[in-house]
Amino acid sequence: MASDKHPWGLRWRSNTLFIISTVAIGLFTDLFLYGLVVPVLPFMLRNRLATPEDEIQSYVSNLLAAYAGASVVFSVPAGWIADRTNSRQAPFLCGLAALLVATIMLAVGRSIAVLVVARVLQGVSAAVVWTIGLAMVLDTVGPEHLGKVIGSIFSFISIGELMAPVIGGVLYEKTGCKKTAAKYDESLRQNGQTNPRDFGTRDDESEQDLTEEDALLPRKQEESYKITGEPNKLVRALPILVCFNNPRLVMALTLAFVQASLLAMYDATIPTEAQSLFQFTSLKAGLLFIALDVPYLILGPVAGWAVDRYGTKPAAVIGFGLMVPVLVLLRLPADGLLTGSKNVVLYCAMLALNGIGLAIIGSPSVVEASDVVQKYDKANPGFFGGNGLYAQLYGFNSLFFCAGLTVGPIVAGALKDSVGYGNMNLVFAVLSGITAVLSFFIIGGKPKVARRSR
C-alpha cells in the first residue's frame, strides 16, 4: 500500500534520467580520479620520491594493481550488503566519500606507503560505487535496455578517462533510487517497471531464425535454470553462487577480466613507452590517451545499441577478434618504421584502432551476466529474496573486472621489461583471440551450427 508521506523531492529524485545521470556522474568521478594519476605516476615517482629509473615501471604497475586488488576484495561484500539494505543510496554516497579522502592522500603523499594506502582506499571506494551504481541502473531500466544504457554510460564516463590523463599531465607539469520511490507512490509502479523481475528475459535470436527443434528450446532452457535440492549454508548466505553452474555467467565474467586487463595494460605502459620512445613529458603522455578514448566515446552508445539489437555473441566475438590485429599493430612505432612526428602520428592511429575495439567489448559482459541471472531469478521465484541478487552479481562483475585491473599492469610491466613492448602486445593479442573463440561457443548460448549438428 502506498504511503501518504512522500520523501522530499520524490518526483524528480525518482526520475529515470536523474537516477542514471547520478550513477553516471559517480562512475565518471571514480574513473576521472583513477585516470588522473595514470600519466603522472612515472614522473611523480621520479621527481617527488627520487625512485631509481630501473624501478619506475615496477612501481607504476604495483600502484595500479593496489587499486584494483582492493576492489577485488571489497566488490562481493559491497554487493552482498547492497542486496540486504532497503536503499542503495547510503552505501553509494559512502563510496564517494571514501574516494574524496583517498584523492587527498594521493595529492599530499610523500612516501610510497602513503601512495599505496591512498590507492587501496581508492580501490575500496571504486568497488562500492561501481557495484551499487550498476545495480541501481538495472533497477531503473531493466535488462531489455541495459545494453544501450551501459554503452551510453561507459561512453560518458570515458570522457573522464579521456580528460583525466590530459588534466593530470597538465597539472603535474604546471604545478608540480527509483525502486525506493515506488514504495511511496503507486503511480510510479503503474507507469514504469522498477524491478528487473518485471521484464522479460533476453532472446538473442530472432523468431524468424527458429527451427522446429528450436521451438522446444524455451521449455528446456527454463528447466535448465531450475534449482533442485536443498542449498547448503554457503549458498543460502550468497545465493548467486548457484548461478555459477552456468558457463555463460562464468564466461561473461571472464570477458570483464580480459577487458579490464587490456585497459590496465594501456594505463601501465603507454606513459612509460611514450617517455622512452618519444621523450614525452607527463602532459604529452596524457594527450596520447585522447587517441585511445575518442573512438570509445563516440562508438560506445552505438555498440551498446547493437548488443540490445543483435545479442551479446556478435559483439563479444567481433570485438575481441578485432583486438588481435590492432594490438599487434601497436609494435610498429617501436620498430622504427617512421621517424619523428610521423612516428607519433602512427602511434596515435594505432591507439585509435584499439579504441574502436574497446568500444565494442564494453557492454557484452554486463548484459550477458544480467541475462543469465534474470533467467535463474525467473525460474526460481522467491529463492533469491525480496531484492534479488543483482547487486551480488555486479559485486562479482566488479571483482573479475578489478582482478583484471590487478593482473593487467603487473603482467604488462613484467613483459615490457623482459621481452619488450611489441612482444608484450602480442601476448595480449593472443589472450584476446582466445577470448573471441570462447565467446563464439559460450556467450549467448551455443551457436546455431553447434546445436544443429547434434
pLDDT of 58 > 90? The answer is: no
Residues 6 or more apart whose CB falls under 8 angstroms from that of 287 comprise: 165, 166, 169
Is 436 a domain residue? Answer: yes
Burial status of residue 452 (CB atoms within 10 A of its CB: 0-12, 13-18, 19 or more) = exposed
Position 207 pLDDT exceeds 70: no
pLDDT at position 145: 63
pLDDT of residue 192: 47
What is the model's pTM? 0.70
Among candidates 391, 403, 407, which has minimal Cα distance to 129?
391
DSSP 3-state of 382: coil
Residue with cell 603522455: 285
Torsion of the alpha carbons at 409, 135, 252 and 362, rounded to the nearest 10 = -60
Q: Which residue has the higher pLDDT, 436 or 283?
A: 436
Tell me what pLDDT residue 439 has. 96
Q: Is residue 294 part of a domain?
A: yes
Most confident segment among 46-50, 102-106, 312-316, 379-383: 312-316
Contact 61, 267 (CB under 8 A): no
Per-residue pLDDT, averaged over 112-124, amounts to: 85
Given pLDDT bands bounded at 50, 70 and 90, which one contains residue 1?
Answer: very low
Residue 450 has what pLDDT?
A: 54
Residue 21 pLDDT exceeds 80: no
CA 94 to chain centroid, in Å, comes to 20
Residue 372 lies in a domain: yes
Top pLDDT among 208 and 384 is at: 384
Higher pLDDT, 11 or 207: 11
The verdict on residue 2 lying in a domain is no
- pLDDT category of residue 61 using cuts at 50, 70 and 90: confident
pLDDT per position as a tens digit, 216-257: 555 566 677 887 777 787 777 788 888 898 999 999 999 999
Chain segment 152-196, per-residue pLDDT in tens: 776 666 666 556 665 666 666 666 545 445 555 555 454 444 555
Question: Is 335 inside any structural domain?
Answer: yes
Asked if residues 158 and 296 have their Cβ atoms less than 8 Å apart, the reply is: yes
What's the pLDDT at 415? 92
pLDDT of residue 123 exceeding 70: yes
Domain assignment of residue 278, given as a range: 10-199+235-452
Average pLDDT for residues 425-436, to the nearest whole number? 97
- The answer to whether 188 and 182 are in contact (CB under 8 A) is yes
What is the grid cell recorded at 43?
614522473
Mean pLDDT on 393-397: 80
pLDDT at 246: 92
First and final CA of the chain: distance in angstroms?
A: 52
Nearest Cα residue to 389 out of 260, 227, 229, 261: 227
What's residue 175's pLDDT?
A: 60
Does a structural domain hold residue 369? yes
| Domain count for the chain | 1
Distance CA 75, CA 401 (A): 10
* CATH number (domain holding residue 419): 1.20.1250.20
pLDDT per position as a tens digit, 73-101: 888 888 777 777 666 677 777 888 888 88
Query: CA-CA distance, 141 to 317, in Å (whole number)?
Result: 26
Average pLDDT, the chain: 77
9, 10, 11, 13: CA torsion to nearest 10: 80
Residue 276 CA to residue 280 CA, distance in Å, equals 8
Distances (CA, A) of 274 to 52, 192, 267, 283: 18, 50, 12, 11
Answer whether residue 226 is part of any domain.
no
**Residue-level pLDDT at 443:** 93
pLDDT digits (tens, 9 = 90+) for 146-163: 666 776 776 666 666 556
* pLDDT computed for residue 144 by the predictor: 63
Is residue 373 in a domain?
A: yes
Please tell me the predicted confidence (pLDDT) of residue 15: 60
Is the pLDDT assigned to residue 318 strictly greater than 90? yes
**Selected residue with higher pLDDT from 117 and 92:** 117
Instruction: Give the separation between CA 419 and CA 169, rounded to whole angstroms.
Output: 28
Q: What is the pLDDT of residue 105?
A: 83
Residue-level pLDDT at 6: 58
Which amino acid is present at 394? Y
